[in-house]
Amino acid sequence: MSAAVEIGYVAGGAWKRRALHAAAVLILAFLLLPIVIIILLSFSSGLYLQFPPPGFSLQWYERFFRDPQWMTSLWLSARVSMMCTALSVALGVLASIVLVRERFPGKTAVYVLILSPLIVPGIIIAIAVFFLFSRLHMMGSPVAMALGQAVLTLPLVVVIVSATLQGFDQRLEQAAIILGASPTRAFFHVTLPIISPGVISSALFAFLASFDELLVPLLLADPTTMTLPVRIWTTVTMQIDPTIVAVSSVLVAVALTVLVSAGALRRSRA
Amino acid sequence: MEQREPELPPAPAAGDGAGGRPASRGRGRTSLTGFLLLPALVFLAIFFAYPMIDIVVRSFADPGGFTLAHYGQVIEHPVYLRVFQITFEIAFTVTLLTLLLGYPLAYVLAGAGKLAASVIMACVLLSFFTNILVRTYAWMIILGPEGVINQLLRYEGLGDVKLLYNRYGVLIGMTYALLPYMVLTLYSVMRGIDRRFLQAARNLGASDWRAFWHVFLPLSLPGVVGGSLLVFILSVGYFITPRLLGGARDQMIAMVIEQHVELGVNWGFASALAIILLFLTTAGFMLYDRLVGLKALFESKV
């Protein structure tokens, strides 16, 4: 009898499991579909956003890469993101060393200060930065955009680098010091090479976050300094321009590159 | 990844003052390396802390001095109370929808084999890391009057549906945008549940459903609470998706703040709204910290 129950249970279980798996597949499709549709349409030969696409063409990519305005925005975004990444990685690595290794009064408060931009709604940080730079008469400045975005990327760097530093055996650095290296030399020649996968992946994620950021540059931009997200935003709110599907696919490619590289780094570390 | 209090390993470090008392040398090192923290602190003080204080000051300031008028405006005008009501309605519905979709997916993810799990995880992460503007624009293309759905419906000889520039659009877009947060939070809890408990319940005669309901679901509740709270808090401050997919009746707090700043009409009022939003968000995260712990959140956010 117990065998019959067992068989009945398995059969019933299999049916339920299939339903559950079907639901999971549908939900996954919901997650992927918009991205897939964007990429499909970006290669469309149609004159408007016809679905399914009538044929293959690179016309929207051509429009994007030939348009000086889009190219100006792409270049500006790249510059702003690189400044932002360099700044937040430099500050973040130094801060992480102290936060992971030292005990000091007020450490929790420092953590809260550094990590809180992850929690504060994006719109609030954007207007805070906007008020500051409007006082400083730096509206439209790429440097202002990079500084404002670094507030958002610094905590990302600290979280990633701290996690890496915690797995680092400090005795290696101390051994170098015992053998006569100065603390600075020991850091650059022993510690940094070992934690470099973490530092590089923090730079990748900081770059992506900065490259994608809309609100901070939206409020700071003037008509000549629109980052890529800002130009997408103004285009999307004004008109229907299929060039956006090509721009969007480029941004998906950037995200994919970052994810794949970070994954490769993680594997190389393991 | 558990976060442990880092401690100096017992191996004696022959640093600067070799042979000195370890305790005093430890303190000396601290003050020295402490300087490494300074650049980040100075940076945040200027570009984050000061501007945030500036918002607080602006929210209480008018040309004559101190005022509560900006906050009064929020209460006096039914329009703004309505904005808060709409914001909470949307946030609440989005939370329910992400839970409804996220729970089964996280459940399957947590029980899947290595290959299936990495495929699911890759899909969730790709969506999570794709630019929010791109993901929202995709929905404009799908839901719009000339969009993918309406083109397909027309092809089938069916009438049009209006899904863009109204509440449906906002709910679909925001549920989509926030689903990865829900899945990742649920997964981090479900991953730790020992599935042999379920097997044990079944062996003792419980049906699949009973075993799930009485064993798995209670164990996964921290994830449900954490994920829901997280999605709700993030929804309350949402801007991009409701602004692009919503209509005139879907004005949320962040949109009103942005409008007042962008148009330059009333920065004091925008600041007051921002402080209220910040207060709500902070309260939400303090609750989150009490119930789930913020440390887990910061680690999963990477």
Q: Between residues B293 and B186, which one has the greater pLDDT? A: B186
Q: Which residue has the tokens 């402080």?
A: B275
Pairwise CB contact (< 8 Å): A147 & B47: yes
**Cβ–Cβ contact A248 with B under 8 A:** yes
Dihedral sign of CA atoms A206, A207, A209, A213 in order: positive
Q: Does the distance separating the beta carbons of A104 and B47 come in below 8 Å? A: no
Residue with the bigger pLDDT between B265 and B134: it is B134
pLDDT of residue A108: 87
Structural domain containing residue A265: 68-269
For chain A, positions 190-229, list CB contacts with chain B under 8 A. Answer: 205, 208, 212, 214-215, 219, 229
What the block records as the tokens of A102 is 């030292």
Binary contact (A98, B55; C-beta < 8 A) = no
The answer, yes or no, to whether residue B32 has pLDDT greater than 80, is no
The 3-state DSSP class for residue B62 equals: strand
Instruction: Specify the 3-state DSSP secondary structure of A105.
Output: coil
Reduced to 3 states, what is the DSSP secondary structure of residue B225?
A: helix
Q: Which helix (H) or strand (E) covers residue B61, if one does?
A: strand B61-62
Burial label for B194, CB within 10 Å (0-12, 13-18, 19+), is: exposed
In tens, the pLDDT along B224-248 reads 999 999 999 999 999 999 999 999 8
Nearest residue on chain A to B180, alpha-carbon basis: A31
Whether B180 contacts chain A with CB within 8 A: yes
Number of Cβ atoms within 10 Å of the Cβ of A125: 25
Return the number of other C-beta atoms located less than 10 Å from residue B33's C-beta. 16
Domain assignment present for A5: no
For the record, the structure tokens of B216 come out as 């798995």
Report the residue from A159, A258, A259 with minimal CB separation from B298.
A159
For chain B, what are the domain ranges?
Answer: 68-300
Which of A76-80, B59-63, B285-289 is the most confident on average? A76-80
Binary contact (A251, B130; C-beta < 8 A): yes
Tell me if chain A has a CB within 8 Å of the CB of B292. Answer: no
What SS3 state is found at A190? helix
Q: What is the CATH number of the domain that holds A84?
A: 1.10.3720.10
B123-149 burial string, b = 16+ CB within 10 Å, else e?
bbbbbbbbbbbbbbbbbbbbbbeebbb
Q: What is the mean pLDDT of chain B?
A: 86
The model's confidence at residue A269, banded by pLDDT at 50, 70 and 90, is low
Q: Dmax over Cα atoms in chain A, in whole Å?
A: 83
pLDDT tens digits, A198-230: 999 999 999 999 999 999 999 999 999 999 999
> Taking the mean position of all CA atoms in its chain, how far away is CA A166?
23
How far apart CA B230 and CA B207 sit, in angstroms, is 33
The distance in angstroms from the start CA to the end CA of chain B is: 12
Say if A9 falls within a structural domain: no
Q: How many CA atoms lie within 13 A of B176 on its CB side?
A: 31
Least confident of A5-19, A32-46, A113-127: A5-19
Q: What distances in angstroms separate CA B65 from CA B56, B60, B227, B270, B272, one per listed residue?
A: 14, 8, 43, 17, 15
Q: Which residues of B touch A31 (CB under 8 A)?
A: 123-124, 127, 176, 179-180
Residue of B29, B44, B163, B275 to mutate when probing chain A, most A C-beta within 10 A: B44
Residue A7 forms part of a structural domain = no
Number of domains in chain A: 1
**Domain B68-300 carries which CATH code?**
1.10.3720.10
